[in-house]
Amino acid sequence: MTEEILPNLFRIKIPLPENPLKYLNSYVIMGSKRNLIIDTGLNRKECLDAMQTGLHELNLDLGETDFFITHLHADHFGLVSRLVTPTSKTYFNRPDTEIIEAWGGWESMINYGGRNGFPKDALRAALNSHPGFKFSSKWIPELSILGDDDTITIGDYFFKCVETPGHTRGHTCLYEPTKKILISGDHILIDITPNIQCWSDQDDPLKNYLASLDKVHELDVDLVLPGHRRLFRNHRKRIAELKKHHRNRAEEVLVILSKGPENAFQVASEMSWDITYKSWEQFPVTQKWFATGEAIAHLRYLEKKGRLLRKTEEEVTLFLLN
């Protein structure tokens, strides 16, 4: 269940049932006085069982353990409230904390999706089966806020926080400059592309994400420990692939809109997706949610660059070439 990657640095694979991500990589660093768990899994039995089994193999005392959560999504944050003890610290970032503090429910996202062409009834149905809704943390432990360049020392490991907004507003990686390892959360993944979604007219997450890729590109890294799938090397090659992917995505959106104005839901239905379903109609509604959020991110990015304009018809936002 546990795998030693480097001395006193272990990975526990936390299963994510019915999820194409398959599992979360939870990293455990053992120190002489304190331990650190990085990311935890969903708040569901399968995740808790796997975590407890792994921690038992390591003979780890949660009373001597702190937590670092890379970002707000439930597959990383959801289980932490089941693991913290009164002596635990939970390290987290400020922008995602502000989302928690200002949380008013899902209705604003549903309304925003409706304005972008997503049928609201279908969006509510998606919410009911969304893992972020079903398996989120039932309460939020006290959070210790860390920002860019803040540090955590555990045993022989000296980590610097690297803020990498894009996948979420406050996503943060951990970088160990001496050992040249990057714990990348969902900022850089191998085999799969991190999902960059936008659900606000105030945000430009794709612009932020591309800037965050450039930021991490400059680091001297030998080994990347991602939030999902396999570990990998040559982070700069992977960054180049991710940037090319988003350039191609943006060009695809422009080609789609060359035929005339469309809303984001329509654009998403015409984009190419690496998924087994033959048609948009066959997509599960949750996958349509992810796809539409990603379409909005690219539309917003192109709009901010002056490539697109928007207009409103019957309370639905349409995008058109400038």
Give the integer Cα–Cα distance in Å for 150 and 264: 38
The pLDDT confidence band at residue 206, using thresholds 50, 70 and 90, is very high
How many other CB atoms sit within 10 Å of the CB of residue 134? 14
Nearest to 173 by CA among 210, 134, 213: 213
Q: 198 lies in which domain range?
A: 2-233
Residue 227 lies in a domain: yes
Predicted pLDDT at 151: 98
Predicted pLDDT at 294: 97
Average pLDDT, the chain: 95
Give the integer Cα–Cα distance in Å for 206 and 167: 8
Give the integer Cα–Cα distance in Å for 233 and 218: 15
Residue 222 lies in a domain: yes
Q: 177: number of CA atoms within 13 Å, CB side?
A: 8
Over range 58-83, report the average pLDDT: 97
The pLDDT confidence band at residue 235, using thresholds 50, 70 and 90, is very high
Q: What CATH number corresponds to the domain at position 6? A: 3.60.15.10
User: Which is more confidently placed, 129 or 199?
Assistant: 199
Question: The pTM is what?
Answer: 0.95
Residue 20 lies in a domain: yes
User: Which is more confidently placed, 195 or 274?
Assistant: 195
Residue 80 lies in a domain: yes
The number of folded domains in the chain is: 1
Characterise 93 by phi-psi region: left (phi > 0), alpha (psi -120 to 50), beta (else): beta
The answer on pLDDT for 106 being more than 80 is no
Predicted pLDDT at 107: 82
Residue 189 lies in a domain: yes
Query: How do residues 263-303 score in pLDDT, each as one tens digit?
Result: 999 999 999 998 888 899 999 888 899 999 999 999 999 99
Residue 8 lies in a domain: yes
Residue 303 lies in a domain: no
The pLDDT confidence band at residue 97, using thresholds 50, 70 and 90, is very high
User: Which is more confidently placed, 103 or 268?
Assistant: 268
Predicted pLDDT at 135: 85
Predicted pLDDT at 172: 98
Longest Cα–Cα distance in the chain: 63
Residue 270 lies in a domain: no
| Strand ranges (E), 141-228 | 143-145, 151-154, 157-163, 172-176, 181-185, 223-226
